[in-house]
Amino acid sequence: MKLDELNISFIGAGNMASAIIGGLIENGVSPKRVTASDPSQDKLTQMAETLGISTTTDNVEAVRAADIVLLCVKPQVLEAVIAPMKDALAAQSPVVVSIAAGIEVSSLQKWLGEDIAIVRVMPNTPAQVLEGASGLYATEKVSAEQKQAVEDVFAAIGVARWVASEELIHAVTAVSGSGPAYFFLMISEMAKAAEKLGLSTEDAKQLAAQTALGSAKMVLGSDLPAEQLKKNVMSPGGTTERAIHVFENEGLPQLVEKAMTACADRSIEMAALLGK
């Protein structure tokens, strides 16, 4: 299955759908292959004008000829949105991809039927600048060709990584799903501290954000682990070493683990609530 030969439909035309569609088109998928459905005609008109895709307010019409269907609506309304599509999906047999946080495969199967090929994905907001990180889980009904096609969709907006079990989606949520907020916090606090040290607001922002960006690129482009890259910056008795010792002595490593565990636990709680 070549991605540019498939019909891809989006149920929901919000920011994440727009980001994914933009990434697909930038990677060579024809807008003619893409359809978006949403109750907001204003959203659809804007999307049609900016991206050149087909749009409709009829979800059933949107999936009738689809090879891949992406569910991009809020988890609280997902059941009501997809229930009318059940027969059309059964007839077409696309792979159905849900990015709805907390909605487990068992719920999707209950709403759509046991024979539907389902992939769960936890993307993140940097997808909006094509630098996303997505964790993916596929059921046994998903063929190898369908898995590759879905991977290609999310590779168009960043990094796509498969996990072996659905339970690991909670870990994905803790590291990358919620992770952008952790880095926004760190950049914000570094910039504030830099201002107190005398830098202008704009200089502090630019230097803190670019340092985060450059450091991430070094981690991704190096064979060395992040721990070693950290040590490489730490000259004995130097400025970096002193700063790192403050972070470590004040419990930053333990705090990171505690925060991420809390995030994963909340993900589990939400799945239990939304699955009722």
> Which own/partner contact pairs does 114-119 have at CB distance under 8 Å and 24+ positions apart?
115/90, 115/141, 116/89, 116/90, 116/141, 117/93, 117/141, 117/142, 117/143, 117/146, 118/142, 119/95, 119/146, 119/147, 119/150
Residue range of the domain that includes 66: 3-168
Pair (22, 143) in one structural domain: yes
Q: 174 in a domain, yes or no?
A: no
* CATH number assigned to the domain comprising residue 105: 3.40.50.720
Same domain, 157 and 191: no
Q: Are residues 85 and 194 in the same domain?
A: no
More confident residue, 259 or 27: 259
Residue 187, phi then psi, degrees to nearest 5: -65, -40
Report the first-to-last Cα separation within the chain, whole angstroms. 36
Q: What percent of the chain has pLDDT over 70?
A: 99
Residue 4 confidence (pLDDT) = 82
Q: Is the pLDDT of residue 1 over 80?
A: no
Identify the band that residue 185 occupies on the pLDDT scale cut at 50, 70 and 90.
Answer: very high
d(CA 55, CA 35): 5
Enumerate residues 6+ apart whose C-beta is below 8 A from 20. 10, 70, 72, 123, 127, 153, 154, 156, 157
pTM score over 0.95:
no
Does one domain contain both 24 and 82? yes
* pLDDT over 80 (residue 275): no
- Residue range 232-245: mean pLDDT, rounded: 97
Helices (H), the chain: 15-26, 41-51, 59-63, 78-82, 86-92, 105-112, 144-155, 168-172, 179-196, 201-221, 226-233, 239-249, 252-274
Nearest to 100, CA basis, from 80, 140, 79, 73: 73
Task: Looking at the structure, tell me whether residues 32 and 111 fall in a common domain.
Answer: yes
pLDDT band with cut points at 50, 70 and 90 for residue 274: confident
Q: Would you state the pLDDT for residue 79? A: 93
Contact 93/117 with Cβ under 8 angstroms? yes
Same domain, 189 and 153: no
Q: Mean pLDDT in the chain?
A: 95
Q: What is the pLDDT of residues 51-82, one digit of tens each?
A: 999 999 999 999 999 999 999 999 999 999 99
pLDDT of residue 2: 83
Tokens of 181: 């907020």
Contact predicate 267/101, CB 8 Å: yes
pLDDT above 90 for 168:
yes
133-156 pLDDT, tens per residue? 999 999 999 999 999 999 999 999
Which residue bears the tokens 């990584």? 161
Going by C-alpha positions, the residue among 15, 24, 3 that lies closest to residue 158 is 24
| Residue where one domain finishes, among candidates 168, 202, 233 | 168
Question: Is 134 inside any structural domain?
Answer: yes
- The answer as to whether 196 is a domain residue is yes
Residues 148 and 220 grouped into a single domain: no
Domain total for the chain?
Answer: 2
Q: Is the pLDDT score of 276 beyond 80?
A: no
